[in-house]
Structures are given as C-alpha cells and as structure tokens.
Amino acid sequence: MRAITAPYTVLLNMAAIIFNNCRVFDGATAALGEGMAVLVDEGRIKEISDRPLSASGARVIDAAGRVLMPGLIDAHYHALLADLNVANLDIMPPSLLHQHAHVNLRAALDRGFTSVRDAGGADIGLVRAVEEGLIKGPRIFHAGKALSQTGGHGDMRPATHFEPCACAAYHGPICAVADGVDEVRKAVREELRKGATQIKLMVSGGVLSPSDPVWMDQYSEAEIRAAVEEAATRRTYVMAHAHTASAARRCVDFGVRSIEHGTLIDRETAEYVAASDAFVVPTLSTIHMMKEKGPGLGLQKIFADKLGTLFEDAQQAVSVCHEAGVKLGLGSDLIG
C-alpha cells in the first residue's frame, strides 16, 4: 500500500485538514493510539483527540483505521544517483539526469519520507522545483557537490584514465574534486554560496569508486578542518562519508558532525563517538541491495569485490553503536 504523504510546503498552502478514525503513531511510544483524530492547520498539528474532530472550512478525511504518523526523514539520500555504476552519470545529459531525480524524489515521498538530506548531487534548482510545486518530492536539505580529494571516493576516474588536462580535476554531477586547504575552502564556500544547507566530504574509501581502497583515510586533517571552519562561518556543519573506524575517529577529532555509513566502527570507536557531539548515519539498505541485487543489475566486478563482507560488518556496527549510545540517524543511500 502506498503511503499518503504531502511535503511541508504544500501543507502550508492547504486548508485545515482533519483526519478522523486513525491509529496514531507519535514516535514517542511504540503503541498506536486507536480511534484518534488529528487536526492539521498551516502545516502544524493543532490538535490530537480520542474523539472525532470538526472545524469549519476544514477538509475531513476518514482514515478508516489506517496509521497516521509523522513524515520520515532520510538523512542520507541522493536524488541524482540514477545508476549503480556512478561513472555512467558523467555521460548522462543533465536534462535526463534530472528526470531521474524527479522520479527518485517522488518515490521517496511515496515511501513516507517528507524530508531528505541529500548527500551529494542535488542543488538549489531541485529544492526550488519541489517548493514551487513543479515536481512532487520531500523537502530537500542539499549539500551540493560532495567534495573529494583526487583519487578519493568522489573521483570517478578509473586508474586507466589518463588525464589530458594539466588541471587534472574531476567534476561530476554528484561529486567534485578539491585538493589542498585553499581548494577545499573555495569549494566549500562555493557550495554554501549556492545554498547548501550542509557540506559533504569524502573522508574514507568507498565501494562505488574505481581507484581507492575502502580502508583508505582521505583528506588531510588541515583540509577537513578547513571545511569544518568554513561551514561553521555559515552556522552549519560537515557530513562525511566514512566507512572505517579510523575515518570515524578522525571525523570526531576534526569537528565533522555527521559520520555517514560508519560501516566498520568497532566497540572502542563507538564509545569514542558516543562521548562526542557527532552522529552516525548507517546506510544498511543500499549495502544490502547492492549485495543481493547488485550483480544482477550490472554492478561491475571491481565494485562487487570491494563490497566484500560490508553488509555483515554494517549490521555489527549498528549494534555496537546502539549499545554504546551513539546518536543514530536513518539513511537509505538508495541508488536508482
């Protein structure tokens, strides 16, 4: 059954709505409130009652016993991630890529997500398109381009690619390369100028990048601190792709607030993260889907090999983080 969802901006412009006869999940307790009624006005819940509600001018919806719940937040999402082999996005026309984004955003909304934090790719144009009602989708918090060092997780050039240009810089639809403190600083400022609500860095190796081992630490301390400092001047923060325990620890030490994936976090590191202000956003869904369906969907062998036991590791890391009291978010990182 499809979830019935509406983005916040749409709700703001709608007449008051009363949902009668629903089971309410409030997120505070596991129990569902039976036979409840909820009044929503100007995008806010105004009243929750155990008796049917009425209000003049309000649209009344009989939920017929269905569950009514707050919109979900996908804290690690990519509207533009339309192909399992990410380098294919480099040769996709932007107009086509954004049609994929439209479909992906609509699908996220249909799954019940009314807010997504885009971890690389989405820009102010997509945000505006949703806000203006041109396309249906969740509210987007976008990072702009995810920033990577040369040869890092955001550099989609394979080892066999010989760069014809002396500038040797990669710039794709999801990620951009910036090396050294000055370039990182400038790239961060550029994304913030374009309205990014947070900055995304790649600070460990990853699965779907062709030239870096997963275990690799990426970006120097000075580069990461420069990004954190620039984000702070805009009163925002850095989220960082970090699979390994070492990368998670560097995130904590250098001021990164949101540790993405955290797939190889061990107990000792989980306790270290738990004692800090940092969050971990595991992304079990995409790792599971890649393992189960990747080869059938054309996942190249080089990436399947890098995936290895990461799904089992990721489940273990979530348990360890939960037991240590790490603040956890939910991220899908879904592709296509």
At its nearest, how many Å lie between Zn ion and the CB of residue 147? Answer: 12
DSSP state of 327: E
For binding to Zn ion (CB under 5 A), which residues are involved? 119, 241, 333
- What is the distance between the alpha carbons of residues 36 and 208, in angstroms, rounded to a whole number? 46
Q: In this structure, how many other beta carbons lie within 10 angstroms of the beta carbon of residue 129? A: 18
Distance between CA atoms of 178 and 155, rounded to whole angstroms? 10
Q: In the complex, which residue's CB is closest to Zn ion?
A: 241
Nearer to Zn ion, 40 or 326 (CB): 326
- Smaller CB separation from Zn ion, 313 or 333: 333
Min dist. Cβ of residue 304 to Zn ion (A): 17
Residue 40 or 313: the one with the smaller Cβ distance to Zn ion is 313
For residues 283 and 301, the answer to whether their CB atoms sit within 8 Å is no
Q: Report strand pairing: 17-24 vs 33-41.
A: antiparallel
CB nearer to Zn ion: pick between 40 and 214: 214
301 is catalytic: no
| Residue 111 CB coordination number (10 Å) | 15
Question: Collapsing DSSP states into helix, strand and coil, what is residue 41?
Answer: strand
Q: Which of 74, 155, 313, 333 is catalytic?
A: 333
The long-range contacts involving 13-18, CB below 8 angstroms and separated by at least 24 positions, are 14/59, 15/57, 15/58, 15/59, 16/40, 16/41, 16/42, 16/46, 16/55, 16/57, 16/58, 16/59, 17/41, 17/58, 17/59, 17/60, 17/61, 18/53, 18/54, 18/55, 18/58, 18/59, 18/60, 18/61
Smallest distance, Å, CB 218 to Zn ion? 11
Shortest distance (Å) from residue 191 CB to Zn ion = 16
Residue 217 C-beta: closest distance to Zn ion, Å? 15
Residues 312 and 291: their CA atoms lie apart, in Å, by 10
Any catalytic annotation for residue 200? yes
State the DSSP string of 97-139: HHHHHHHHHHHHHHTTEEEEEESSS--HHHHHHHHTTSS---E
Select 20 or 263, whichever has its Cβ closest to Zn ion.
263
Provide, rounded to whole angstroms, the least separation between the CB of residue 214 and Zn ion: 11
Parallel, antiparallel, or unpaired: how do β-strands 113-118 and 67-68 relate?
Answer: unpaired
Among the listed residues 145, 200, 291, 306, the single catalytic one is 200
Our CB check for Zn ion shows the closer of 276 and 332 to be 332
Which residues does the annotation mark as catalytic? 200, 333
